[in-house]
Amino acid sequence: MKKVLLGSALAVMIVGCASSPDKIQTSYVSPMQYKNYDCDQIAGELGRISHRANELHGNLKKTADNDKAQMALGMVVFWPALFFLEGGDGPEAAEYGRLKGERDALEKAAIQKKCDAFITPKPAIPIKEAADGNKQQVSGVEE
């Protein structure tokens, strides 16, 4: 009997929790959809998509964090409450995955059209500006 209850609780934990936005898979979107866009249109669309994706990222992270807290409380205090976790990945998660795919497609379209001014890679070595205005490379160890 204990094994059945433990197995049921474990299944609820795995299925019932919302995914962290970092673990939501990117949906494929073809860059051909943006073949008629010029660089300005690509930049505008990237801005719109990034804004909405950032909103969704915050909402999804909050939902996942709430589910983790409910899970911890349920495990410690009253495990049958785990059956009532509302979590799970809903329409916001699907939209977030699609937006990630659209962003990737727009970036590919921008590269194909040589609009690389809109896509700025992260620097390999972070640079910190000192109080005197001189820029220094950061070694990774905070002082």
pLDDT digits (tens, 9 = 90+) for 4-13: 444 444 444 4
pTM: 0.60
Q: What is the per-residue pLDDT for 4?
A: 45
With respect to residue 65, please indicate whether it lies within any of the assigned structural domains.
Answer: yes
Q: What is the per-residue pLDDT for 111?
A: 92
How does pLDDT run across 15-54, given as a tens digit for each residue?
457 677 788 889 999 999 999 999 999 999 999 999 999 9
Helix (H, G, I), strand (E, B) or coil at 62: helix
CB 64 within 8 A of CB 19: yes
Q: What is the per-residue pLDDT for 43?
A: 92
Helix (H, G, I), strand (E, B) or coil at 23: helix
| pLDDT over 70 at 103, yes or no | yes
CB 45 within 8 A of CB 117: no
Q: What is the per-residue pLDDT for 86?
A: 58
| pLDDT over 70 at 114, yes or no | yes
With respect to residue 128, please indicate whether it lies within any of the assigned structural domains.
Answer: no
- C-alpha 136/C-alpha 126 separation (Å) is 9
With respect to residue 6, please indicate whether it lies within any of the assigned structural domains.
Answer: yes
With respect to residue 46, please indicate whether it lies within any of the assigned structural domains.
Answer: yes
Output 120 or 75, whichever has higher pLDDT. Answer: 75
Q: Which residue has the tokens 């059945």?
A: 4
With respect to residue 44, please indicate whether it lies within any of the assigned structural domains.
Answer: yes
Its domain, for residue 110, covers 2-118
With respect to residue 135, please indicate whether it lies within any of the assigned structural domains.
Answer: no
With respect to residue 134, please indicate whether it lies within any of the assigned structural domains.
Answer: no
Q: What is the per-residue pLDDT for 82?
A: 60
Count of structural domains within the chain? 1
Nearest partner of 95 among 37, 29, 42, judged by Cα = 29
- C-alpha 132/C-alpha 86 separation (Å) is 53
Indicate the pLDDT class of residue 74, thresholds 50, 70 and 90: low
The interaxial angle of helices 39-76 and 91-112, nearest 10 deg, is 150
| Token representation of residue 83 | 């059956």
**Cα(first)–Cα(last) distance of the chain, in Å?**
56
Of 37-41, 73-77, 116-120, give the range with the top mean pLDDT.
37-41
With respect to residue 93, please indicate whether it lies within any of the assigned structural domains.
Answer: yes
